[in-house]
């Protein structure tokens, strides 16, 4: 029996569909490495892998000699060995668009939280008054599906919307501007771009120095987009007003710990996509992609 190897916590809706269609589903114990999981399942039987945020390396890939397909439950693929997959002829599909509303709503929530200085009881009181989002200038770096949802959600607030995208696109809302202009003019800056070599540390000391002193920074995309040390220095010195992130480059654990103690910094543990509606839909889409692949049909969304 062919096995579907599930790396992360995935909603049962799609897994049940796979089992009903004759697959064995193995949900990896998070305490085990890929190699150690051989104690629990035969990796030679693995037909497809469903993976969310966990990293799969080129070495890990060699453990699955009969692997045909990887389904990324989500959008970013910086956690996967793309060149090795291509070389081995392993298919890669992903689920763009499904989590867009979930992440966009969290982004809007961050904007409200920062601008109004919302706090939990028992945390240090912030003395400054909050501000309105209404009629402020919001800058979106990137203009994919999530950014477009954010732009739509912001319309009732009558904001001035600035957009920077490395490939100019026709906008339903807002004005296309340079990155330099966006950084200088925005009251709120929100990141919506993938993690690549070109986008790594796109928000660094130099970028932050261009931002307004009362600006807020939001990152619901990828941790590598923001230089952690630069962010800490800017928040600690009140060079910018605040930041909220759903993902963080945690390679410098000492700086991350210092960040979490600042009253103008908010972080969530990469839960932007974690709404029940999204998790069910994404799980079902993963199952659909596997069944289409098995039946020789075109994928709904292939990465390459």
CATH number of the domain where residue 46 is located: 3.40.50.720
pLDDT score of 169 more than 90: no
Q: Beginning with the edge strand found earlier in the chain, give each strand of the sheet holding 69-72 in spatial order.
A: 24-27, 3-6, 46-51, 69-72, 91-94
Q: Is the residue at 304 inside a domain?
A: no
Pair 240, 150 in one domain: yes
Q: Is the residue at 79 inside a domain?
A: no
Pair 151, 225 in one domain: yes
What is the spatial distance between Cα 152 and Cα 234, in angstroms, rounded to a whole number? Answer: 30
> Which domain, by its residues, includes 23?
3-74+276-295
Q: What is the pLDDT of residues 18-43, one digit of tens each?
A: 999 999 999 999 999 999 999 999 99
Q: What is the pLDDT of residues 39-82, one digit of tens each?
A: 999 999 999 999 998 999 999 999 999 999 999 999 889 999 99
Q: Is the residue at 81 inside a domain?
A: no
Q: What is the pLDDT of residues 212-234, one digit of tens each?
A: 999 999 999 999 999 999 999 99
Among candidate residues 70, 193, 94, the one with its CA nearest the CA of residue 139: 193
What is the spatial distance between Cα 160 and Cα 154, in angstroms, rounded to a whole number? Answer: 9
The answer to whether residues 69 and 291 touch, using CB atoms and an 8 Å cutoff, is no
Pair 142, 251 in one domain: yes
Q: What is the pLDDT of residues 85-125, one digit of tens each?
A: 999 999 999 999 999 999 999 999 999 999 998 865 556 66
Q: Give the number of other Cβ atoms within 10 Å of residue 283's Cβ.
A: 24
Give 245-283 as a DSSP string.
ES---TTSHHHHHHHTT-TTEEE-SS-TT--HHHHHHHH
Pair 120, 246 in one domain: yes
Pair 157, 249 in one domain: yes
Pair 232, 285 in one domain: no
The residue to which tokens 């799969």 are assigned: 56
Q: Is the residue at 196 inside a domain?
A: yes
Q: Is the residue at 89 inside a domain?
A: no
Pair 175, 60 in one domain: no
pLDDT of residue 168: 81
How many domains in the chain? 2
Pair 252, 169 in one domain: yes
Q: Is the residue at 87 inside a domain?
A: no
Residues 6+ apart with CB under 8 A from 122: none
Q: Which pTM value belongs to this model?
A: 0.90
Pair 258, 280 in one domain: no
Pair 201, 110 in one domain: yes
Pair 281, 263 in one domain: no
% of residues, the chain, pLDDT over 90: 90
């Amino acid at each position: 029996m062919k096995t579907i190897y599930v790396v992360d916590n995935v909603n049962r809706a799609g897994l049940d569909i796979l089992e009903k269609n004759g697959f064995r589903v193995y949900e990896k114990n998070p305490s085990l490495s890929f190699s150690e999981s051989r104690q629990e399942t035969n990796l030679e039987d693995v037909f497809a892998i469903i993976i969310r945020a966990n990293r799969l390396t080129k070495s890990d890939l060699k453990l699955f000699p009969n692997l045909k397909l990887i389904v990324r439950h989500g959008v970013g693929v910086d956690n996967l060995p793309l060149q090795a997959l291509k070389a081995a002829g392993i298919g890669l599909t992903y689920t763009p668009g499904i989590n867009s509303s979930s992440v966009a709503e969290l982004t809007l929530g961050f904007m409200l939280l920062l601008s109004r200085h919302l706090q939990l009881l028992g945390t240090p009181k912030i003395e400054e008054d909050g501000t309105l989002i209404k009629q402020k200038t919001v800058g979106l770096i990137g203009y994919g599906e999530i950014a477009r949802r954010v732009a739509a959600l912001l319309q009732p607030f009558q904001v001035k919307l600035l957009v920077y995208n490395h490939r100019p696109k026709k906008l339903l809302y807002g004005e296309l501007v340079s990155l330099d202009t966006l950084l200088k003019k925005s009251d709120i800056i929100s990141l919506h771009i993938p993690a690549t070599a070109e986008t790594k540390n796109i928000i660094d000391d130099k970028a932050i120095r261009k931002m307004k002193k009362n600006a807020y920074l939001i990152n619901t995309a990828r941790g590598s987009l923001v230089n952690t040390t630069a962010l800490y220095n800017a928040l600690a010195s009140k060079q910018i007003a605040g930041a909220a992130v759903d993902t963080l480059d945690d390679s410098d654990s000492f700086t991350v710990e210092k960040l979490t103690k600042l009253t103008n910094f908010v972080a969530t543990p990469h839960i932007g996509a974690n709404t029940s509606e999204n998790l069910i839909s994404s799980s079902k889409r993963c199952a659909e992609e596997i069944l289409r692949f098995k039946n020789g049909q075109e994928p709904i969304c292939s990465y390459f």
